[in-house]
């Protein structure tokens, strides 16, 4: 059997990783400024994380959601405390798309309505409802298109008010900072007004923090830069540092019913061990402070690269924009300088998502490599 060939590949084969570095089978060392697609939060193969998962595996790796699993409560408790979202309840699942799928379903259950407002250039995943609210017709199959979604430009509150006014909207879904779209984001005023409009019309506000959450923006969730309290928050990527886990944080006022949501694998013992280790390390190693410090440094140092037109994003969720397409630059960074970076819908933008443990010295390596290539 061959693989179903859906991914265009760079010809690199990582076999080992540690901290912000990965090594290929020839022992070539790469600086990981892509974090495995924004997934690596506390650093590759963090020793405490490895210990926690290994120990858990020797005890019990998995049982179904029909038994008591105290690790789920421990994870929920720690997540509430560290994120400042103690007045939410946690539903555990396995990926970002699944988190958004459940968030949208919950909004539809709660309101009895089905139309969703999403934003231009949004990416929310590839499952049935998540892909419909993703602004990319190319990845929507006819079966997906039965659902109702309206895409609006970011930061146009009048259009949001107009659409919500029609009375058939279940939820507004928005990324804390757009990832795949290219690092655009709502202004604080926009987030606040959307929140107000949602509250006044019993529409749920869903914040997709799958990529921007877990400390990546310098606050636990990116929306916390804007002083709002969404109804539902979705998370995945950095939550497990590579172990598949997702979460839906649901405001206390929405009550659960048995059978309303469910999953076989979500919240299993191994996933919880990974999730708890990640939270413990974010707290113990003060990774959010590190993100803010490194972001300050990056913001200054990047000014020394004259070809850069604009820097977007916050913390260690960054985009550097040029006035040319960055495809070739990314290849040179990987094959000549041994640095992984990411792309986005904006072909002129280099996306940077290093582990949250990256240091100033790694920023220096990246910026020097950029300068050498762009000379």
311 burial via Cβ count (<10 Å: 0-12, 13-18, 19+): middle
Give the nearest distance from C-beta 44 to ligand PLP in angstroms. 18
Residues with Cβ < 8 Å from 368, sequence gap 6 or more? none
Q: Which is nearer to ligand PLP, 67 or 141 (CB)?
A: 141
Q: What angle do CA 95, 100, 102 make, to 5 degrees?
A: 95
- The 3-state DSSP composition of the chain as helix, strand, coil percent (nearest 5) reads 40, 20, 45
Q: Which is nearer to ligand PLP, 43 or 179 (CB)?
A: 179
Give the nearest distance from C-beta 128 to ligand PLP in angstroms. 12
Least Cα distance to 261 among 45, 108, 76 occurs for 108
Give the nearest distance from C-beta 127 to ligand PLP in angstroms. 7
Q: Which is nearer to ligand PLP, 22 or 210 (CB)?
A: 210
Q: Which is nearer to ligand PLP, 129 or 210 (CB)?
A: 210
Token pair for residue 312? Answer: 């977007």
Query: Over the Cα atoms of the chain, what is R_g?
Result: 20
Measured from each CB, the residue nearest to ligand PLP is: 96
Q: Which is nearer to ligand PLP, 1 or 143 (CB)?
A: 143
Give me the residues that bind ligand PLP (CB under 6 A), please. Answer: 95-97, 100, 123-125, 175, 179-180, 208, 210-211, 236
b/e map 321-340, b = 16+ CB within 10 Å: bbeeebeebbebbbeebbbb
Give the nearest distance from C-beta 255 to ligand PLP in angstroms. 26
Give the nearest distance from C-beta 172 to ligand PLP in angstroms. 15
């Amino acid at each position: 059997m061959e693989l179903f060939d859906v991914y265009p590949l760079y010809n690199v084969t990582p076999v080992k990783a540690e901290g912000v570095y990965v090594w290929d089978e020839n022992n070539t060392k790469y600086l990981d400024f892509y974090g495995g697609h924004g997934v690596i939060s506390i650093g590759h193969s963090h020793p405490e994380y490895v210990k926690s998962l290994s120990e858990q595996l020797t005890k019990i790796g998995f049982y179904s959601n029909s038994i008591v699993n105290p690790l789920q409560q421990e994870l929920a408790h720690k997540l509430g405390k560290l994120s400042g979202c103690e007045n939410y309840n946690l539903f555990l699942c396995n990926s970002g798309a699944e988190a958004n799928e459940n968030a949208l379903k919950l909004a539809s259950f709660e309101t009895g309505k089905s139309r969703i407002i999403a934003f231009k250039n949004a990416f929310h995943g590839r499952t049935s409802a998540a892909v419909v609210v993703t602004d990319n017709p190319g990845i929507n199959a006819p079966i997906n298109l039965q659902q109702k979604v309206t895409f609006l430009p970011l930061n146009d509150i009048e259009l949001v008010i107009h659409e919500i006014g029609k009375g058939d909207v279940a939820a507004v879904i928005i990324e804390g900072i757009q990832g795949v779209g290219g690092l655009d984001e709502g202004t604080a005023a926009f987030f606040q007004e959307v929140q107000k409009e949602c509250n006044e019309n019993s529409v749920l506000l869903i914040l997709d923090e799958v990529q921007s959450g877990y400390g990546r923006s310098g606050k636990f969730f990116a929306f916390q830069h804007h002083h709002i309290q969404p109804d539902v928050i979705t998370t995945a990527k950095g939550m497990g540092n590579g172990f598949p886990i997702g979460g839906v944080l649901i405001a206390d006022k929405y009550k659960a019913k048995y059978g309303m949501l469910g999953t076989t694998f979500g919240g299993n013992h191994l996933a919880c061990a990974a999730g708890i280790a990640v939270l413990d390390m974010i707290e113990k190693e003060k990774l959010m402070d590190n993100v803010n410090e490194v972001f300050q440094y990056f913001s200054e140092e990047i000014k020394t690269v004259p070809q850069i037109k604009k820097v977007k994003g916050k913390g260690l969720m960054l985009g550097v924009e040029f006035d040319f397409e960055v495809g070739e630059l990314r290849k040179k960074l990987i094959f000549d300088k041994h640095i992984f970076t990411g792309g986005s819908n904006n072909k002129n933008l280099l996306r940077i998502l290093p582990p949250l443990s990256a240091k100033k010295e790694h920023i220096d390596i990246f910026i020097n490599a950029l300068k050498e290539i762009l000379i």
